């Protein structure tokens, strides 16, 4: 499935480059990879600091808008499984922060767009891979890590790219076959079982994180025993 890999040097954001390719008509499963981003984007309007040595890619997937959460869950699982192949124990903090030892090493930003004939998911993945922790600004560094820092040596981004794409492709579920990737996500999601405080569009919600469903919603059990499903949000604290 993975098709053409479009390689770029310095870009604003690989997701933007991918959107440009969709507008010009592109083959599904085209991948954009850049060496550095100067306007890398994270979730909720945040920036994704993208120095050289990181792995920055966007996979262009033909997908219905309602299946965008599935693309996001699958990308998170693919990153965790790729890292575990390198003996690194990674987990996911809902919705899709990939952590090693509680520090963020990778993130996923999926954007849906309407193309000339169909819908597309731009699956953006950023991994702090082959650069030292000091390359990140001090305020991010406290809660982040890099693969070079964890492994104590250089990282081959080319190998990492290919194993990540293999893992993403092999885990990506056909419609109706979402069960295994959702189960795997629930296995590696470190948010589950914890008392959490979540900032949402509806305000702050507290509860025990119980599970994540195929829609990407997290289910919280509140103090009064009610179950609340959250489609979006940022975890402020995990107990
Ligand atoms: C997050 O954790 O907030 C998501 C970070 C996603 C970063 C990747 S890097 C490749 C792609 N291009 C972007 O501008 N963002 C995503």
**Do residue 142 and residue 215 come from a single domain?**
no
Q: Where residue 230 falls among pLDDT bands split at 50, 70, 90?
A: very high
Residue among 41, 45, 122 to mutate when testing ligand 1 (max atoms within 8 A of CB): 41
In sequence order, the β-bridge partners of residue 195 are 208
Q: What is the CATH number of the domain that holds 144?
A: 3.30.930.10
Do residues 177 and 200 both lie within one domain? no
Report which of residues 66 and 220 the model is more confident about: 220
Q: Are 216 and 69 within 8 A, CB to CB?
A: yes
If asked whether residues 78 and 58 sit together in one domain, one would say yes
Instruction: Give the tens place of pLDDT for each residue, 129-143.
Output: 999 999 999 999 999
pLDDT exceeds cutoff 70 at 56: yes
Choosing from 152, 170, 188, the residue where a domain stops is: 188
Whether residue 152 contacts residue 88, with contact meaning beta carbons closer than 8 Å, is answered with no
Instruction: Tell me the best of 104, 107, 123, 161 to mutate to test the pocket of ligand 1, counting ligand atoms within 8 Å of each CB and taking the most.
Output: 107
Look at the chain and report how many structural domains it folds into.
2
Tell me, yes or no, whether 25 and 97 share the same domain.
yes
- In 24-165, which ranges are E strands? 31-37, 55-62, 90-93, 97-100, 103-114, 119-127
Residues 61 and 116 both lie in one domain = yes
What is the rounded average pLDDT of the residues 202-218? 94
Shared domain for 146 and 116, answered yes or no, is yes
Residues of the domain holding 206:
195-238
Pick the residue whose CA is nearest to atom 3 on ligand 1: 42
Mutate to test the pocket of ligand 1, among 126, 131, 161 (most ligand atoms within 8 A of CB): 126
Please indicate, yes or no, whether residues 94 and 131 belong to a single structural domain of this protein: yes
Atom of ligand 1 nearest to the CA of 14: 12
- Which residues neighbour 141 within 8 Å (Cβ) at sequence distance 6 or greater? 133, 134
Q: Are residues 95 and 184 part of one domain? A: yes
Confidence of residue 44 (pLDDT cuts 50, 70, 90): confident
pTM for this structure?
0.96
Ligand 1 contact via 34 beta carbon (within 6 Å):
no
Shared-domain flag, residues 45 and 121: yes
| CATH number of domain containing 230 | 2.30.30.100
Whether residue 90 contacts residue 105, with contact meaning beta carbons closer than 8 Å, is answered with: yes
Res. 1 pLDDT band, cuts 50 70 90: low
Residue 38: other Cβ atoms inside 10 A: 10
Q: Calculate helix-pair angle for 157-171, 179-188, nearest 10 degrees.
A: 130
- 230 and 182: one domain? no
Please tell me whether residues 151 and 210 are part of one structural domain. no
H or E element, residue 180: helix 179-188
Q: Give tens-digit pLDDT for 96-129.
A: 999 999 999 999 999 999 877 789 999 999 999 9
Average pLDDT of 151-165?
Answer: 97
SS3 label, residue 146: coil
Report whether pLDDT(239) > 80. Answer: no
My answer on whether 110 and 212 are in the same domain is no
């Amino acid at each position: 499935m993975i098709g053409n890999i479009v390689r770029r040097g310095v870009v604003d954001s690989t997701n933007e480059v991918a959107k440009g390719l969709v507008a010009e008509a592109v083959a599904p499963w085209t991948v954009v990879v850049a060496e550095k981003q100067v306007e890398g984007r994270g979730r909720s309007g945040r920036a994704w600091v993208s120095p050289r040595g990181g792995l920055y890619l966007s996979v262009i997937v033909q997908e219905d808008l309602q299946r965008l959460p599935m693309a996001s869950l699958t990308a998170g699982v693919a990153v965790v499984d790729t890292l575990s192949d390198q003996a690194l124990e990674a987990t996911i903090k809902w919705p899709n922060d990939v952590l090693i030892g509680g520090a963020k090493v990778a993130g996923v930003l999926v954007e849906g767009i309407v193309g000339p004939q169909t819908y597309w998911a731009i699956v953006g993945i950023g991994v702090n891979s082959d650069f030292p922790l000091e390359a990140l600004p001090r305020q991010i560094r406290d809660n982040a890590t890099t693969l070079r820092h964890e492994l104590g040596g250089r990282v081959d981004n080319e190998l990492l790219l290919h194993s990540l794409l293999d893992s993403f492709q092999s885990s990506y579920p056909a419609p109706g076959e979402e069960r295994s990737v959702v189960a795997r996500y629930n296995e590696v999601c470190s948010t589950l079982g914890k008392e959490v405080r979540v900032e949402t569009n509806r305000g702050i919600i507290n509860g025990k994180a119980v599970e994540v469903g195929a829609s990407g919603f997290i289910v919280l059990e509140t103090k009064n025993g009610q179950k609340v499903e959250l489609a979006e949000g940022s975890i402020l604290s995990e107990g």
